[in-house]
Amino acid sequence: MKEMSSTMPGGQQPQKHYGITSAISLAPPREIDRQYTKKLCDAMKPFGVFEDEEELNHRLAVLGKLNNFVKEWIAEISELKNLPPSAISCVGGKIFTFGSYRLGVHTKGADIDALCVAPRHVERSDFFQSFFEKLKQHEEIKDLRAVEDAFVPVIKFKFDGIEIDLLFARLALQSIPDNLDLRGDSILRNLDIRCIRSLNGCRVTDEILYLVPNKENFRLTLRAIKLWAKRRGIYSNMLGFLGGVSWAMLVARTCQLYPNAVAATLVHKFFLVFSKW
């Protein structure tokens, strides 16, 4: 799903195209397409696919608290490992989100997939021991459990009513800045396989968002396709069907093939493209 551009004749601006082939159609949306998109939104509302402002703000507040909590813990660990005070003050640490929440297509009451990124002196054992204990003492955190021997090790908990699955990755960096970008391959150097697996979710999600022509059209289309798949019982990685990331990739590819289309058109084209794939 690479982003490319092709040169236009007569010295015009190059026409950017997304993916490994050029678009099937560059047609702009008609008024009727916009009307159908509004009808599509209205049809999805009763199924709880859209979150209200209050719940959205609550999630942001919880993630903000968790981010501060992680920074505090990393500073404490750094002190225990005798880092100089000047280094402790800028050691950082950050929570990244991925999955449906990061894509902007999560439904009401859905959990949040998150990743704790720490600098090189913080070990995975610290995360599953001292951070786990720190979470245990927090009054807003309930149903806390660690699954350390999973394919992708995770700590699961409810933070002020919101379910969070938290992964851990330790990067080969002295500090973790707030503006860290996980998309570059250079950050994978010298990492153990569990850290690479933990980073995969964030990197894939960010790459998908980077490679779609219009994020809002992509999100609305994906919400519709996910609802359709769930209603028909074919949305499940564990049961051998396609999971969230796979559906997202298929919708992203449709968006690349019809870069100017709105959601109602994209839903139609999704079935047209993949029924003939």
192 assigned to active site: no
Q: Which of 65, 71, 111, 158 is catalytic?
A: 111
The position carrying tokens 């779609």 is: 212
Catalytic residue among 101, 226, 258, 269: 226
CA-CA distance, 254 to 249, in Å (whole number)? 9
Quote the CA–CA distance of 124 and 37 in Å, as a whole number: 46
Distance of CA 165 to the CA centre of its chain: 12
Using an 8 Å Cβ cutoff, are 211 and 3 in contact? yes
Q: Which of 25, 29, 21, 62 shows the shortest CA–CA distance to 220?
A: 29
Q: Is 142 known to be catalytic? A: no
Residue 165 bears catalytic tag: yes
**Is 206 among the catalytic positions?**
no
Catalytic member of 36, 78, 94, 100 = 100
Say which amino acid occupies 206: D
Please answer whether residues 242 and 235 qualify as being in contact, where contact means their C-beta atoms are separated by less than 8 angstroms.
yes
Instruction: Please indicate whether residue 226 is annotated as part of the active site.
Output: yes
Take residue 197 and report the two structure tokens written for it.
């697996």
Annotated active-site residue in 113, 126, 175, 198: 113
Out of 18, 36, 101, 235, pick the active-site residue: 235
Q: Is 235 a residue of the active site?
A: yes
Please give the Cα distance from 226 to 275 (Å, whole number).
17
Q: Are 142 and 157 in contact (CB under 8 A)?
A: yes
CB 257 within 8 Å of CB 273: yes
Rounded Cα gap, residues 137 and 142, in angstroms: 10
Could you say which of 165, 175, 198, 258 is catalytic?
165
Active site positions, annotated: 100, 111, 113, 165, 226, 235
